[in-house]
Amino acid sequence: MQQNGDANQRIARISGHLNPRNLQMEESSGLQQVNCRAKGGSAGFRVAILGAAGGIGQPLAMLMKMNPLVSVLHLYDVVNSPGVTADISHMDTGAVVRGFLGQNQLENALTGMDLVIIPAGVPRKPGMTRDDLFNINAGIVKTLCEGVAKCCPKAIVNLISNPVNSTVPIAAEVFKKSGTFDPKRLLGVTMLDVVRANTFVAEVLGIDPREVDVPVVGGHAGVTILPLLSQVKPPCSFTPEETDYLTVRIQNGGTEVVEAKAGAGSATLSMAYAAVKFADACLRGLRGDAGVVQCAFVASQVTELPFFASKVRLGRTGIAEIYPLGPLNAYERIGLDKAKKELASSIEKGVSFIKK
């Protein structure tokens, strides 16, 4: 009898490891799931991905499972998250993976998290602008952020869902309504613009992209994306033609992928890579590493706008410092004026969605 009891306990532990409470299984088998912490699991941070079964969510989940700073990884979605969870849980890395399916399990997915990454929403298709996504994705972000406010208000939130220029203000308004808004903990992920800028500049210079650092400020759509090519590291100069080519290509990088995929999707793999790169920076900041600096779309006083993307230093409570733009050349000053006009209306659109 003791041997059967031990076996049942092990089975229950495995079930609890992969999924939240499964009442149907418990009723049919008599087994009670347990809250599992896998043997040999690494110490680290607890991370939730909301939208983990999507085009960005799946590679993002895989890459976060590989991150040694992650100890517990919660994968939430409204469809297919059990399959993604089972698949990724077989990877022999330290993070324990648990899956959560449907809105009734959202609170369980979020409770106790240190970092919440939100790629949930519909992807952009050919001919669509990021604003075309607004009505669907705005409601999704609102619901998910209400869950964050209730279950893990101290978590760092990395918001990927487009249009970021509007969804970050939506998230801020949701948190303000709940009395949990901390501008240091809400970051819109614009890392893909930086990744693209580093890649495209490296192509022009003929060097390794890992040696390039291009600040990208403003927002995360079209002309609001402003690469500061005058501040590239290593220092270099570009002809007016190169500057125009690089700026336009960086601004239209998402469209380039959407058109190349010809209706089969948007920038999912490069976005997942960029999101993990940014999430890793946030986790290193939480750990207390010094000098962790990345660009992000945040509540800001760098300009007259309430939100703006610029370089931020990450620390134990999220944003430790927001850096000024630094000296801009004439081309960048013109670009900044264009970016701010577009950003102002996108920000207002997000705020109005919650206040209406």
CATH number of the domain to which 295 belongs: 3.90.110.10
User: What token pair was written down for 161?
Assistant: 């869902």
Rounded Cα distance, 92 and 232, in Å:
39
Q: Is 112 annotated as a binding residue?
A: no
- Which amino acid belongs to residue 291? G
Last residue of a domain, one of 172, 189, 206: 189
If asked whether residues 233 and 153 sit together in one domain, one would say no
| Three-class HEC string of the chain | CHHHHHHHHHHHHHHHHHCCCCHHHHHHHCCCCCCCCCCCCCCCEEEEEECCCCCCHHHHHHHHHCCCCEEEEEEEECCCHHHHHHHHHCCCCCCEEEEEECHHHHHHHHCCCCEEEECCCCCCCCCCCHHHHHHHHHHHHHHHHHHHHHHCCCCEEEECCCCHHHHHHHHHHHHHHHCCCCHHHEEECCHHHHHHHHHHHHHHHCCCHHHCECCEEECCCHHHEEECHHHCECCCCCCHHHHHHHHHHHHCHHHHHHHHHCCCCCCCHHHHHHHHHHHHHHHHHHHCCCCCEEEEEEECCCCCCCEEEEEEEEECCEEEEECCCCCCCHHHHHHHHHHHHHHHHHHHHHHHHHHC
Q: Is 288 annotated as a binding residue?
A: no
If asked whether residues 238 and 155 sit together in one domain, one would say no
Q: Is 46 annotated as a binding residue?
A: no
84 pairs with which residues across the strands? none
Rounded Cα distance, 267 and 45, in Å:
27
| Residue 294 in domain | yes
Which residue has tokens 């733009």?
Answer: 325
Q: Is the pLDDT of residue 3 over 60?
A: yes
User: What token pair was written down for 225?
Assistant: 């994306």
Q: Is 40 annotated as a binding residue?
A: no
With bands split at pLDDT 50, 70 and 90, how would you rate the model's confidence at 122?
confident
| Residue 132 in domain | yes
If asked whether residues 52 and 168 sit together in one domain, one would say yes
| Residue 6 in domain | no
Could you list the residue range(s) of the whole structural domain that residue 46 is in? 42-189
> Which range, 22-31, 132-141, 310-319, is most confident?
310-319
117 pairs with which residues across the strands? 49, 158
| Residue 181 in domain | yes
With bands split at pLDDT 50, 70 and 90, how would you rate the model's confidence at 11?
low
Last residue of a domain, one of 189, 210, 236: 189
| Residue 37 in domain | no
What pLDDT, on a 0 to 100 scale, did the predictor assign at position 106? Answer: 98
Overall pTM surpassing 0.75 (yes/no): yes
Q: Is 55 annotated as a binding residue?
A: yes
Model confidence pLDDT, tens digit, residues 54-99:
999 999 999 999 999 999 999 999 999 999 999 999 999 999 999 9
Tell me how many domains the chain contains.
2
If asked whether residues 184 and 197 sit together in one domain, one would say no
If asked whether residues 177 and 272 sit together in one domain, one would say no
| Residue 10 in domain | no
| Residue 154 in domain | yes
If asked whether residues 150 and 204 sit together in one domain, one would say no
If asked whether residues 182 and 133 sit together in one domain, one would say yes
Q: Is the pLDDT of residue 348 over 80?
A: yes
CB atoms within 10 A of CB 247: 22
If asked whether residues 183 and 300 sit together in one domain, one would say no
Q: Is 77 annotated as a binding residue?
A: yes
What pLDDT, on a 0 to 100 scale, did the predictor assign at position 23? Answer: 38
If asked whether residues 175 and 220 sit together in one domain, one would say no
With bands split at pLDDT 50, 70 and 90, how would you rate the model's confidence at 38?
very low
If asked whether residues 215 and 343 sit together in one domain, one would say yes
The domain that holds 165 is classified in CATH as 3.40.50.720
Q: Is the pLDDT of residue 206 over 90?
A: yes
Q: Is 160 annotated as a binding residue?
A: yes
If asked whether residues 60 and 196 sit together in one domain, one would say no
Cis peptide before 234 (omega within 30 of 0): yes
Give catalytic residue positions: 220
| Residue 24 in domain | no
Q: Are the C-beta atoms of residues 69 and 280 closer than 8 Å to each other?
A: yes
Q: Label the pairing between strands 307-315 and 293-299.
A: antiparallel
Q: Label the pairing between strands 186-188 and 216-218.
A: unpaired
If asked whether residues 251 and 177 sit together in one domain, one would say no
With bands split at pLDDT 50, 70 and 90, how would you rate the model's confidence at 143?
very high
Last residue of a domain, one of 189, 223, 257: 189
